[in-house]
Structure 1
């Protein structure tokens, strides 16, 4: 028991290196642009293209674009898989906490198994349950919104002289 509790102390690993003010501002502007574009399209075309987990996606896409979790396949497929699982459980199993918990656990497991882990997408089943979302949520906002995020990230991150995005597509 003592060795188990000792693990709670951590390994005293160093913090992630401090970001420069330029890197912070670059992430700020990229996140602003991405969500503003999605918000504009949502308002202009009267189609829901935004969901809460996209804010967390922006943290990765513009703050940590080199992360495996930030790569296009992870962003798009991670969101798609998680939303699909959430919708399947909501509509076929039922709207209760056990169904929601299973949807979340299965979505995470599928992202890990398919190597498409995108941590913000882990919240999609919960969002879907809270909204009581319909099947079109899989396309609007999940698929189209995540594609827009990746497109903005492609154009924006590559403006930076020290960035090349993505590292891979496959």
Structure 2
């Protein structure tokens, strides 16, 4: 019995010595107090975290709390005007507004010429295009590729949806979802173009155009608006007041 107790004590001392050697090999900042090495093995009690680990835990909690607070602040900022940007000058307001007036005036004159055919160039999507081109010319939605690709593609989708499903909610839902998928896939996101399929499906006067609707009035109107946009951008840059 005494021999068994002696061998057990020798085994435990051997294990403690090995753990002490491994402990000494660790970097100084990761070492535990030497007195806790044998105690943690013999009693099976979990080691208490060091003061450094506690500090890191508190720091992590603080960082997460600060991140949540910042996220909440940014969410509220979306409901406020952009006060960090420079206030627009009078010319920055006047020229885009004048460009929109000129665009609608020219389109209205074209409507008079096309009145016998029962179609109109003054459609709601072109009003949204004016806002994009004249007010935010540097945004992705104002790129010429995005505009023409989206206008023509979404118009074609509207014609196809009407051909397959006729007028109604199914055609509108299918056309709108397909238009969004098309713009994302072609990297040609242009928000006003999403209304073209709905305009065709609900506008009986456009049904006679069939696939000519791809070019008229959306694409043709955008071509005119691009020309006016160039004039508006030139005046904004060179005629300031």
TM-score bin (small chain): 0.7 to 0.9
Structure 1 window deviating more from structure 2 (147-156 vs 51-60): it is 147-156
Match of residue 61 from structure 1: 133
Distance 2:216 2:136 in 1: 26
Larger RCO, structure (CA 8 Å, separation 6 or more): 1
TM-score (norm 2): 0.59
Aligned-residue offset at 1:25 = 1.2
1:111 and 2:177 are equivalent in the alignment:
no
Match of residue 29 from structure 1: 98
* Corresponding residue pairs, total: 158
SS in 1 for 2:236: coil
Whether the 8 Å contact between 2:96 and 2:232 is mirrored in structure 1 is no
The structure where helix makes up a greater share of residues is 2
Distance 1:141 1:105 in 2: 22
TM-score (norm 1): 0.81
Distance 1:144 1:12 in 2: 39
Structure showing greater Rg: 2
RMSD of equivalent CA atoms: 2.4
Match of residue 168 from structure 1: none
Distance 1:66 1:125 in 2: 26
Whether the 8 Å contact between 2:126 and 2:218 is mirrored in structure 1 is no
SS in 2 for 1:92: helix
1:12 and 2:83 are equivalent in the alignment:
no
Q: Do the aligned partners of residues 25 and 109 (structure 1) sit closer, same or farther apart at CA in structure 2, a change above 3 Å counting?
A: same
Structure 1 window deviating more from structure 2 (36-45 vs 142-151): it is 36-45
Q: Do the aligned partners of residues 54 and 89 (structure 1) sit closer, same or farther apart at CA in structure 2, a change above 3 Å counting?
A: same
In structure 2, runs of 5+ residues without a counterpart are: 1-67
Match of residue 153 from structure 2: 81
Aligned pairs for 1:1-170 within 5 A: 10-13=75-78, 15-16=81-82, 17=85, 18-46=87-115, 48-132=120-204, 133-134=206-207, 135=210, 136-161=212-237
The CA deviation string for residues 91-129 of structure 1, in whole angstroms up to 9 with x for no partner, is: 223222022111001111101111211111111111111
